[in-house]
Chain A
Amino acid sequence: MRGGRRVDLVHAKWTQLKSKHHSHIPVAPVGYAGAFTEDVLVVAIQQNERQMPLEQQPAILVRGLVKRYDTVEAVKGIDLTVRSGEIFGFLGPNGAGKSTTISVLCTLLRPTEGSAEVAGYDVDRHPALVRQRIGLIFQDPSLDDQLTARENLWFHAMAYGVPHEERGPRINAALKMVDLDDRAGSPVKTFSGGMKRRLEIARGILHSPEVLFLDEPTIGLDPQTRARVWDHLRGIHARSPITIFMTTHYMEEAEWCDRIAIIDHGRIVAEGTPADLKSQVGGDVVVVSTDDDDRAIAEVWESFQIEAAKGTGEIRIEVPDGAEFVPRLLREMTVPVRTVTVRRPSLDDVFLKLTGRAIRDEEADPKAMMRRFARTWRGGR
């Protein structure tokens, strides 16, 4: 294989692992004799990594990541740490930098500045080693419609170098896991949108990746199908040491994640557990619709010194105790009030509070149009 840099590579890796984890790592693999080859050393590193307690080694480590296209800066210096074994949600409106970040982490794009490590390897220096350890479920469909479900998985197994004797058992298990074993021989073009999504999930886990990336896994699916896709994902996560990193702009899906980060205009604006983030928004959210929202906001400020956020056809007020606040509000307001709702804060409210606006709709560039077209195809039967 490639020449002289192997030893450097391994030495650098070793030093890096040592300094990062302060744990004892042997200088050379046990039983090592003869010349260093990249393969031998990589295997040795893997063994050492496996011995390390999981929580010590982050699955994804991003430091100061910047991605610039010509003039546009899509990602403006982000830091992320995703722990091994967690479900991490990456939230933000379209165009916020989610897909760019995920593309860098999956080695599809190169970072302009900063570094990113996935499953212990730098994405820029060792893309091949990263690729072996990750699975990716794309925002857009990427199955071959002419092939059957089983054939799609077979090609995937081949591309990931799954040994011949493991291919059959793995394909069968993956198909069963997503309840598609009875349709294994049907061409994918006869599948519904939800079935295709499930097949893509089966494919994503077929080679037992350490980190599974999902880019908008449930976009364009109806609520029941989305719930079912989530059931499968949680089933997989519960039984294997897999780390799941997913982007979404469905706020309610983010509630299923262990931790989430919110990105807007290429910057991380919040990071934490869903509960942490929701606690940033007062106690309750009071949603009021009135005849004149602007005047209502002004009146709320005059009477309570609380800044209300303007939504579409409604205003949102954060208060510690909603039930106690509503009677006082109604006493003070001179603007006719049509409806009042009190609810617990959702991540939507967090997003609105942090960015000053609700999640945007997608723009109409040529690629988005192609994407919508493809999605319609996927959705239909």
Chain B
Amino acid sequence: MTSTTVGGKLREEDAAVLVQPASHPRVAWYQAVYIIWYRDLVRYTRDRPRLLASFAQPLLYLAIFGVGLSSSLGGSFSKGAAGGAGVSLSYIQFMYPGVVSMSVLFIAVFSAMSVVWDREFGFLREILVAPVGRGWVALGKALGGATQAMIQGAVMLVLAPFVGVKLTALSVIEVIPLLFVLAFGLTTLGVALATRLQTMQGFQVVMNFILMPMFFLSGALFPLSRLPVWMSVLTRFDPVAYGVAPIRSVILEGSGVPGPVVNRLAALTIGGWQLPSILDVGILSLFGLAMLVVAMRSFSRRA
């Protein structure tokens, strides 16, 4: 027997590459961010069952909830909420931008919550002992989740013709950055929450007490005008509402719904004043950045 192997099939002469001491270059922050972001995207494209499941839920909402309510409300939706004036807008058309936002919401939060598992039994645990700044790991995770959620939302746009919504090239170009801002705000929130959770059991709590209320209060399913005061107040504290409003404005306007009707249906009002879309985006971005700071800080903390 010749003793030319170091271990397994590795021959002595090839082992030098592993035996020689590694130089210790510093890993730049953007490299750390890139690694985490890239890995998230690779996973997203590999996980076929999850990819399929993430389509099923919004489709169910549109096909069953949307169609069901559209036909039972009939023309009364456009007469009531839409304010009549010869505008024919079905409930499903109104709801569609809400469902697009919903798919962004769920993907963003789920992908962020995977941190809880990943930190104990996954790749993230590995990365947390690597010589990379942990805060940047949180940023990479937030960007990775946000990119996934944005792609998901963008893919949902192909359903527009089936619900009678017309999309123009301009409205698509406008909507995609809006999807990203919404996705970013929610992923950072998710990562910030995930750092506080010890086990996956906490996930149910987040789901029932944060995620679902955020979805229902966002205006995705019904207009936020003419609500009882208590509910109206709650909706204004829902970050998702600041994403749904501009997304709906852009999509409905692109579809040819007159501006005043769009505003009445989509825009958030505070004390009777309609918030312009740009302000919605600003508020949502600030929320995302604040959550990012929280997430980065709690990630870098060592017990």
Contact = CB atoms under 8 A, between A and B. Distances in A.
B195 to A, nearest CB: 15
B35 A158 contact: yes
B14 A207 contact: no
A142 B11 CA distance: 28
B46 to A, nearest CB: 5
Interface string A116-141: 00000000000111011110101011
15 contacts: A50-B21, A129-B24, A131-B130, A138-B126, A143-B122, A146-B42, A147-B46, A156-B126, A160-B27, A176-B10, A177-B18, A231-B7, A232-B7, A235-B5, A370-B199
Interface in A194-225: 203, 205-210
Given A140-B125, A366-B199, A174 B24 contact: no
Contact of A151 (B22, B23, B42, B302): B42
Interface of A: 39, 50, 69, 106-110, 127-129, 131-134, 136, 138, 140-144, 146-147, 151-152, 155-156, 158-163, 166, 169-170, 172-174, 176-181, 187, 203, 205-210, 231-232, 235-236, 238-241, 366-367, 370-371, 374
B35 A159 contact: yes
Interface residues of B, number: 47
Contact of B7 (A138, A144, A178, A370): A178
A203 B200 CA distance: 27
B9 interface: yes
Contact of A207 (B6, B22, B26, B43): B22
Contacts of B7: 177-178, 231-232, 235-236, 239
Interface string B116-135: 00001111011111111000
A173 B123 contact: no
Contacts of A147: 39, 42-43, 46, 123
A203 B35 CA distance: 16
B123 A142 contact: yes
A65 to B, nearest CB: 15
B131 A131 contact: yes
A155 B198 contact: no
Instruction: List 9 A-B pairs, minimum CB-CB distance, nearest first.
Output: A235-B7, A179-B8, A159-B130, A131-B131, A144-B123, A177-B10, A176-B10, A208-B22, A132-B24
B32 A146 contact: no
B8 A146 contact: no
A143 B118 CA distance: 9
Given A156-B126, A158-B35, A176-B10, A240 B131 contact: no
Contacts of A156: 126, 130
B198 A177 contact: no
A173 B12 CA distance: 10
Contact of A138 (B26, B43, B125): B125
A367 B200 CA distance: 10
Given A159-B35, A161-B27, A181 B9 contact: yes
A205 B18 contact: yes
B17 interface: yes
A278 B86 CA distance: 94
A176 to B, nearest CB: 4
A297 to B, nearest CB: 44
Contacts of B161: none
Given A160-B131, A173-B15, 7 more contacts: A144-B122, A146-B46, A156-B126, A160-B27, A177-B10, A235-B7, A235-B8
A108 B17 contact: no
Nearest to B18: A173
A107 B300 CA distance: 12
A232 B8 contact: yes
A342 to B, nearest CB: 37
B255 to A, nearest CB: 38
Interface in B188-229: 198-201
Contacts of A172: 14
Contacts of B46: 146-147, 187
A331 B122 CA distance: 60
A374 B26 CA distance: 33
B27 A176 contact: no
B131 A161 contact: yes
A157 B52 CA distance: 32
Contact of A170 (B17, B31, B127): B17
B125 A109 contact: no
A370 to B, nearest CB: 6
A109 B302 contact: yes
Given A107-B302, A146-B43, A173-B14, A161 B19 contact: no
A142 B129 CA distance: 12
Interface in B37-53: 39, 42-43, 46-47
B49 to A, nearest CB: 11
B20 interface: yes
B126 A142 contact: yes
B303 interface: yes
B202 to A, nearest CB: 10
Contacts of B15: 173, 177, 239
A238 B43 CA distance: 37
Given A142-B122, A155-B123, A176 B17 contact: no
Nearest to B11: A176
